[in-house]
Structure 1
Amino acid sequence: MQTEQNLTNSEISSFPAKIVVIGGGHGLSTILRGLKKNPSQLTAIVTVADDGGSSGALRRDIGVLPPGDIRNCLAALSADEDFFTQVLQYRFSTDSGVGGHNLGNLLLTALANITGSFEQGIQELAKILAIKGTVTPSTLEDVNLVAEVEFIKDGKIVQETVFGESKIPRNKGKILSLSIEPSNVSANPEAIKAILAADLITLGPGSLYTSILPNLKVYGIAQALSASRAKKVYICNVTTQPGETDQYTCYDHVSVIQNTLPNVHIDAVICNNFHEYNIPDFVSWVKINQKILDEFHVFQGNLVDDQFPWRHDSDKLSKMLIKVYSDLISTINIS
């Protein structure tokens, strides 16, 4: 379904009171930035599988859960996002004693140690930033990603097991499967509560294999999604991601989600259909094909950020989501 961006009063008034967004990375921050402008109860459920950069170093050296994705979501929901993003992203020189770390990661780590819990540390930083909404990890346990990747080496097709979120995209191969280790980590109770209470749940946008799926692999998350009566919407990325979704169509993306959640009905899929900007050579537009139109309830429109067209525009995406929810509710009422 093609949709326009202008909203009616009816669509705005029908937007749900309780929204849960699931993912990680920059994609989750993007949707939060747009949704926080609406009078809804907003919860972000965030992956903690990151093992690279400052987050990975703090995870290895101190034993704290990786704070990076959590920090980005808190900044996106803060009262003064521009200022607090600069503060939290401030990175110390590699020549200093805290070489390469950014202030937000150090602050969240410190608050976790002071309060005695990572989750409590998040809540304290949320108070400092006066955020609109709630940010919570999908699990409070240490978890790593394991992928089976197929790639070409010396002219031959090779399969290899890749351990670690930061290493998975580096092989530039095809991801055959993704799992978490240990496989029996339990979901954060607060994440389960939010899912079961939600009116609307979005999966994405964000890295398919390293931001969205890690949450869905945590024991209890898929089960809660299956039990939830909320409308579930998958938001497909605007462009492919090197080493993860090269040459993927919208159908390929949502198929991975549906295969991971075989007992969960995806009520709608949101896809971008505007491809008139120049984008970097190492990515390509994620295209809509007939197969996804035949098998899923698809909403499409111009969702790209004019300045960074390989990303979603926060306002365009939030408006599209309002229209999607209104349409889904109207369908129920009519039937």
Structure 2
Amino acid sequence: MRKKVVVIGGGTGLSVILRGLKTFEVDITAIVTVADDGGSSGILRKELDIPPPGDVRNVLVALAEVEPLVEELFQHRFASGDGLNGHSLGNLLLAGMTSITGDFQKGISTISRVLNVRGRVLPAANESIILHAEMNDGSIVSGESQIPLASKGIKRVYLSPSYVTPLPETIQELAQADLIVLGPGSLYTSILPNLLVPGIVEAIRNSKAKKAYICNAMTQAGETDGYTASDHLQGLINHCGEGLVKYVLVNGEPISEAVLERYQVERAQQVIVDDKVLEDLGVSIIKDRFVLESNQKLRHDAMKVSEALLDLLKEQPQ
């Protein structure tokens, strides 16, 4: 019987990891944030009153088993046209299918069949949610896309409305999981919006699955400036309590000067792995060279990360 892996997050990091995981004989469920309010997703959520489709679109493409041209078509973004400019075709298709089925999750399921998706894609909630941040200076910033722009340091994030309910399927998938993975992705704007949906953290805690967090290799301007690996984990702990994950996967190798210089322009730097502090926080560290460099860009090594995560399933339950 194939093992069940549930991955929680959003953004490009989640999609990268899913491309690796889908090559292994495991059942995959991706739980995806619906807090995005920028770009095409933001326009569609405002005009059509639907959850933002952007992160879901990227995950569907990552798990799809279709011809490259179909994938390219789904990701195509219009560069002109009154009303179409800036929209991706995939976002419009998800919006259209939501309108036809009358339900965002049903729309995702239908598109999944069209794209021959290898796994299951679930929104963290079946409605739009707004992410708010209380900054270190006490001010409140609303909107996922606006939070990093404030550059004031984030004290905590929270959702509105406060009565959001998770999908029953999401709770069920977490209960049945053999491995639950958080990340990679923006800590405050991609990972935590999922965990702040009432019932999600409780479902993770109650699950008998192995639980791991993939720490970002680089800091993110306006969000995790100066954060070490333990700071990232502490951010999870501050919002969700201790003991949510047992394993933290970190990149333990230096990144080239050329790539570091390129990321300096974005005010990002390599995340320092402070092993002792991580261990004091009660986690086991999985450390290796988990990144790839290409065209002065950095991405997690999807295959290497996937293999390290799936190795956890071979361990005896503790």
TM-score normalised by L of structure 1: 0.88
Give distance in 2, aligned partners of 1:94 and 1:28: 29
Give distance in 1, aligned partners of 2:301 and 2:221: 21
Give distance in 1, aligned partners of 2:242 and 2:284: 17
Measured at CA, do residues 230 and 105 of structure 1 come closer, stay the same or move farther in structure 2, by a change above 3 Å? same
Corresponding residue for 1:181? 160
Measured at CA, do residues 196 and 135 of structure 1 come closer, stay the same or move farther in structure 2, by a change above 3 Å? same
Deviation string, structure 1 residues 55-83 (Cα, Å, up to 9, x no partner): 00000011111000000000000113743
Give distance in 2, aligned partners of 1:203 and 1:270: 10
- Corresponding position: 1:254 with 2:239: no
Q: Which moved more, 1:91-100 or 1:275-284?
A: 91-100
Measured at CA, do residues 188 and 110 of structure 1 come closer, stay the same or move farther in structure 2, by a change above 3 Å? same
Give, in angstroms, the shift of residue 264 of structure 1.
4.3
Counterparts in 2 of 1:257-268, with a 5 A limit?
A: 257-262=236-241, 264-268=243-247
- Corresponding position: 1:64 with 2:43: no
Give distance in 2, aligned partners of 1:81 and 1:45: 24
Corresponding residue for 2:270? 285
Corresponding residue for 1:52? 38
- Corresponding position: 1:299 with 2:278: no
Whether contact under 8 Å (2:35, 2:131) holds in the other structure is yes
Of 117, 121, 142, the match for 2:103? 117
Whether contact under 8 Å (1:36, 1:132) holds in the other structure is yes
Corresponding residue for 1:31? 17
Q: Which amino acid aligns with 2:306?
A: S
Q: Which amino acid aligns with 2:138?
A: Q
Of 99, 102, 126, the match for 1:140? 126
TM-score normalised by L of structure 2: 0.93
Give distance in 2, aligned partners of 1:325 and 1:174: 37
Q: Which moved more, 1:305-314 or 1:172-181?
A: 305-314
Deviation string, structure 1 residues 170-222 (Cα, Å, up to 9, x no partner): 01221001000111211111111100010100011110000000011001101
Deviation string, structure 1 residues 5-43 (Cα, Å, up to 9, x no partner): xxxxxxxxxx96100000111111011110000111100
Give, in angstroms, the shift of residue 325 of structure 1.
3.6
Count residues with an aligned counterpart: 309
Structure 2: stretches of 5+ with no match in the other structure? none
Of 316, 320, 323, the match for 2:304? 316
- Corresponding position: 1:226 with 2:205: yes
Q: Is the partner of 2:224 in helix, strand or coil?
A: coil
Whether contact under 8 Å (1:45, 1:137) holds in the other structure is yes
Q: Which amino acid aligns with 1:317?
A: V
Give distance in 1, aligned partners of 2:72 and 2:60: 13
Q: Which moved more, 1:313-322 or 1:47-56?
A: 313-322
Q: Is the partner of 1:105 in helix, strand or coil?
A: helix
Give, in angstroms, the shift of residue 263 of structure 1.
5.8
Whether contact under 8 Å (1:78, 1:84) holds in the other structure is no
Give, in angstroms, the shift of residue 309 of structure 1.
4.7
Give, in angstroms, the shift of residue 115 of structure 1.
1.3
Give distance in 2, aligned partners of 1:32 and 1:40: 11
Give, in angstroms, the shift of residue 106 of structure 1.
0.2
Whether contact under 8 Å (2:218, 2:270) holds in the other structure is yes
Measured at CA, do residues 201 and 168 of structure 1 come closer, stay the same or move farther in structure 2, by a change above 3 Å? same
Identity between Structure 1 and Structure 2 (%): 43
Q: Is the partner of 1:306 in helix, strand or coil?
A: strand
Corresponding residue for 1:195? 174
Structure 1: stretches of 5+ with no match in the other structure? 1-14, 151-157
Q: Is the partner of 1:201 in helix, strand or coil?
A: strand
Corresponding residue for 1:166? 145
Corresponding residue for 1:235? 214
Q: Is the partner of 2:139 in helix, strand or coil?
A: strand
Measured at CA, do residues 265 and 148 of structure 1 come closer, stay the same or move farther in structure 2, by a change above 3 Å? closer
RMSD: 1.7
Q: Which amino acid aligns with 2:301?
A: D
Whether contact under 8 Å (2:179, 2:211) holds in the other structure is yes
Give distance in 2, aligned partners of 1:61 and 1:131: 28
Corresponding residue for 1:94? 80
Deviation string, structure 1 residues 155-181 (Cα, Å, up to 9, x no partner): xxx431001101000012210010001
Give distance in 2, aligned partners of 1:261 and 1:212: 12
